[in-house]
Chains A and B, each alone.
Chain A
Amino acid sequence: MTQFTRRDFLKVTTAAGALLATISLPGCRPKASAAGSALDPSVFVRINPDNTITVTIAKSEMGQGVRTSLAMLVAEELDADWSQVRVEQASFDPKYGDMGTGGSGSVRDNWKQLRESGAALRMMLVAAAAKEWGVDSKECRTENSFVVHDGKSRRAHYGSLAAAAATISIPTTIALRPKSEWKILGKDRVGIDVSDITHGRATYGLDVKVPGMLYASIERTSVFGGSVKSVDKTAALAVPGVKAVVEIPAIGNGVNVHAGVAVVATSTWAALQGRRALKVEWDGGTRAAESTDGYRSFMQAAVEKAGAEMVNKAGDPDGVLAKASTVHTATYETPFLSHATMEPMNCTASVVGDKVEVWSPTQFPGWAAEALAQALKTDIKNVQVHVTLMGGGFGRRINPDFTVEAALVSQRVNQPVKVVWTREDDLRHDFYRPCALHRVDASLGADGMPEAWRHRLSTPSIDVTYGPKPGPGWGPNEADGSGNMSYRIANRSSEYTLLESGVPRGWWRAVSTTHGVFATESMIDELATAAGKDPVEYRLALIDKYTLPQPADSKQFPFDPERLKGVLRTAAEKAGWGRTLPAGHGMGVACSFDHLGYAAEVFEVSVINDRLRIHRVVCAADSGPIVNPSGARAQIEGGIIQGLSAALKERITIAGGAVAQRNFDGYSLLRINEAPAVIEAYFVETDTEPTGLGEPSVPPVAPALANAIFKATGKRLRTLPLAITIA
């Protein structure tokens, strides 16, 4: 495939903000290795003479477990001894196809090609052994990295067959192992990097060290869109260890590097000290008066009238609402959110002439390579992007800004440089989950079921940060989780009004459903209550096929109402939904379809003396077959904890065109003592291709919790973070 251009990138942010990787690599034909000793039947796997098997991982590892799950796909079909499997991280190269990691898509994207690679290689190894033993391939079997012929009592390990297998032609008909015969897939597996992690050996972006490397810290404009008016470098240059002070220009074009001044030194501390001694005068620019209060005023006014964009409409919601005797109205408000990865942004770069080499904790090495080529005015063939482990991603590391910055600094000082972001830098120069204001007006028929649902939304759309308005408008991607709800309501509309804002926006785990599902799943619960009906039964009666054109449904994995009902029923059953609870206790439910995964959650809480306790969270999820159950449960647990953190604690506010918060003392994350006592994950493994679990468990959290709090207290909380203290 060709270079991954920004336009291609915008194309793949199609259906409702999901990062659906639509670029795929045509089948790779392995060549016999020139040296003859290591078999390389495909781009992704090789067998070494010492019988270790190296799987090349072309997706970024941010804790979602791809270095383990993708290796498992190969190992299963190859029939490999797992203890001999090693992984190698791929650097950017078009031969790997789409390396962009996000949208819960890594297992989904690689389901076919990695298993086929393993299966093809296994067939070639068998053929090689059969040839050597003078038997028919069909008489041989494989077991744990061995080819075995029972009749002749022969066995040979893969390592010894690697060279011979390289001479066998690659099979064109490949049969994959059925699920009933899985030995590796579908079984708990400890992460392949766990031992390195627990011994302090794992190398993250911030840990990279290259010869001759300097350290840099960048003083960036706090006010978004600001620029440098003047710099006094004298005091900074006098700090011991400081080698240079260089200006970094703002870069637009969707890359969004802020104007700044970099202090380059022989250690991180010296760079930080030098930065403190800098005297920079800033020009605030046109966004310096923006504030959360100003945004809220705009959004509140916007949702009181018809939206600027009609994302979708069925029937006549305005007409029905106008005639209804009772209109139920609710407004749901959510703030900007920061990704707050535990490892702050960073990148190490070495620019020598027109050659650019970076070691970047990036989720999108392709976009990074393209942005580097453009920013440094060199051919993309001169750009090398090495992908490191990263301490969390959650969508922040999609953006190439921190990679481009490092290259610009290196270019200016003619030495390799590691740019280290402080936590303050990271928190205040994020690509934020947009703030959002949802207003729903609804009316019920005589049977208590909704007749009209008019959903108005205002946000500072994510897409505005990156380029021109997509054809269908700003609204569809922002209305994921709201406009595309699956409840069958004859008269419904999804309306959108764009809020202009200088705050850079980006993709925060699950993206628009994080606020859209909060609104939808809270409102449907309010209507169920108004109708005097059980919230689970109400939803089950209404979930139906989704047929509206925008937000667009997936073509490859269209929404299946039975699967959503399936997880809802499972979660309710496992949670013991409907049983009598003591006073002050309550159960709340929410369900959603996000990034092609179905999830339903039940929260069991108590609110005693105004203090919230979360006793139990039950999640039922359906993303098809599960590759590594331990890892899958981890994604459910982690998504729930992150969703809770956002639901209860997190808020970024803007004042004077800048982020008001500084560090974790002002932007609180959920701590261990606030985590639920119990999180249970149940998987409904519908027989389909797997679709991924990185994001689906996040959206139901806030509404299920708010709905539970309502049951426990009688109070509806419609603003995030929820105004309640956790015990």
Chain B
Amino acid sequence: MRLTINGTEHDIEAAPEMPLLWAIRDLAGLTGTKFGCGIGQCGACTVHLDGAPVRSCSITAGAVGTKRITTIEGLAVGGQDHPVQQAWEQLNVPQCGYCQAGQLMTAAALLARKPNPTDADIDQAMVGNLCRCGTYVRIRHAVKLAAEIQAGGAK
């Protein structure tokens, strides 16, 4: 099958029922998307399908079709960091960092949908992304900062 990941076409030899997560990691060799639970409970595997956030452990490679997949490796476009990446770095959000690809992908999708999210919007959108190191308080601040950066307000 052919999967379009971050603008590049990958020819994948996989059974259609292989979860997209393993096709991305093992077959396309893009390991930025992480495995945490396999049942859609932790959010570490979050990618975008045509811009919408999905848990790649819970969708099969065969179901993707021609939808455009974006992974964490493709979040920065044309050498320009996404506002969430800038905000995460400014506020030193990650600790171990393992969950952060999923956090960033979910946050980016939120800001595309709601450029000015409230606290409740943020908690609701991010509730599916677990962080065992406990960076939640910084994540909230970083989403707010990313919204400002996106709006052209903050540096």
A interface list, Cβ under 8 A from B: 61-65, 188-191, 193-195, 197-204, 206-207, 209, 215, 240, 267-269, 340-344, 389-394, 420, 422-423, 630-631, 634, 637-642, 645, 663-665, 669-673, 675-676, 678-679
Q: How far is the CB of B121 from chain A (nearest CB, A)?
A: 11
Q: How far is the CB of B44 from chain A (nearest CB, A)?
A: 6
A194 and B15 within 8 A (CB): no
For the complex, is B131 an interface residue (Cβ under 8 Å from A)? yes
Q: A391-B97, A672-B140 are in contact. Are A201 and B89 (CB under 8 A)?
A: no
- Pick from A194, A203, A204, A642 the residue with the most CB of B within 10 Å: A194
CB-contact partner of A194 in B30, B89, B123, under 8 A:
B89
B123 and A673 within 8 A (CB): yes
B32 and A663 within 8 A (CB): no
B26 and A215 within 8 A (CB): yes
B138 and A634 within 8 A (CB): yes
For the complex, is B4 an interface residue (Cβ under 8 Å from A)? no
B132 and A665 within 8 A (CB): no
Interface string of B129-155 (1 = CB under 8 A from A): 111111111111000000000000000
A392 and B133 within 8 A (CB): yes
What residues of chain B lie closer than 8 Å to A201, measured between beta carbons? 32, 73
What residues of chain A lie closer than 8 Å to B136, measured between beta carbons? 641, 670-672, 675
- Report the bound CA distance from A214 to B44 in whole Å: 23
For the complex, is B100 an interface residue (Cβ under 8 Å from A)? yes
A342 and B99 within 8 A (CB): yes
What residues of chain B lie closer than 8 Å to A194, measured between beta carbons? 88-89, 92-94, 97
What residues of chain B lie closer than 8 Å to A676, measured between beta carbons? 137
Q: List 5 A-B contacts (CB under 8 A).
A: A199-B85, A268-B35, A631-B92, A634-B135, A665-B39
Q: A200-B72, A637-B134 are in contact. Are A267 and B26 (CB under 8 A)?
A: yes
A207 and B99 within 8 A (CB): no
CB-contact partner of B132 in A189, A342, A389, A631, under 8 A:
A342
- Report the bound CA distance from A188 to B92 in whole Å: 9
Interface string of B2-36 (1 = CB under 8 A from A): 00000000000011001100100111011111111
Q: How far is the CB of A243 from chain B (nearest CB, A)?
A: 14
For the complex, is B42 an interface residue (Cβ under 8 Å from A)? yes
What residues of chain B lie closer than 8 Å to A268, measured between beta carbons? 22, 25-26, 35
For the complex, is B80 an interface residue (Cβ under 8 Å from A)? no
- Report the bound CA distance from A304 to B73 in whole Å: 59
What residues of chain B lie closer than 8 Å to A61, measured between beta carbons? 96
B39 and A663 within 8 A (CB): yes
B38 and A423 within 8 A (CB): yes
B27 and A267 within 8 A (CB): yes
- Pick from B22, B27, B129 the residue with the most CB of A within 10 Å: B22
- Pick from B88, B99, B101, B134 the residue with the most CB of A within 10 Å: B134
For the complex, is B118 an interface residue (Cβ under 8 Å from A)? no
Which residues B55-85 have CB closer than 8 A to chain A? 71-73, 75-76, 81, 85
What residues of chain B lie closer than 8 Å to A240, measured between beta carbons? 15
- Which chain A residue shows the least CB distance to B26? A267
Q: How far is the CB of A63 from chain B (nearest CB, A)?
A: 3
What residues of chain A lie closer than 8 Å to B98, measured between beta carbons? 204, 341-343, 390-392
B39 and A198 within 8 A (CB): no
B73 and A199 within 8 A (CB): yes
For the complex, is B41 an interface residue (Cβ under 8 Å from A)? yes
B130 and A671 within 8 A (CB): yes
- Report the bound CA distance from A368 to B136 in whole Å: 33
- Report the bound CA distance from A423 to B132 in whole Å: 14
- Which chain A residue shows the least CB distance to B128? A671
- Report the bound CA distance from A538 to B102 in whole Å: 46
- Report the bound CA distance from A650 to B132 in whole Å: 12
CB-contact partner of B18 in A198, A269, A340, A343, under 8 A:
A269
What residues of chain A lie closer than 8 Å to B30, measured between beta carbons? 200
CB-contact partner of A423 in B22, B25, B36, under 8 A:
B36
What residues of chain B lie closer than 8 Å to A673, measured between beta carbons? 123-124, 127
What residues of chain A lie closer than 8 Å to B127, measured between beta carbons? 671-673
- Report the bound CA distance from A194 to B138 in whole Å: 14
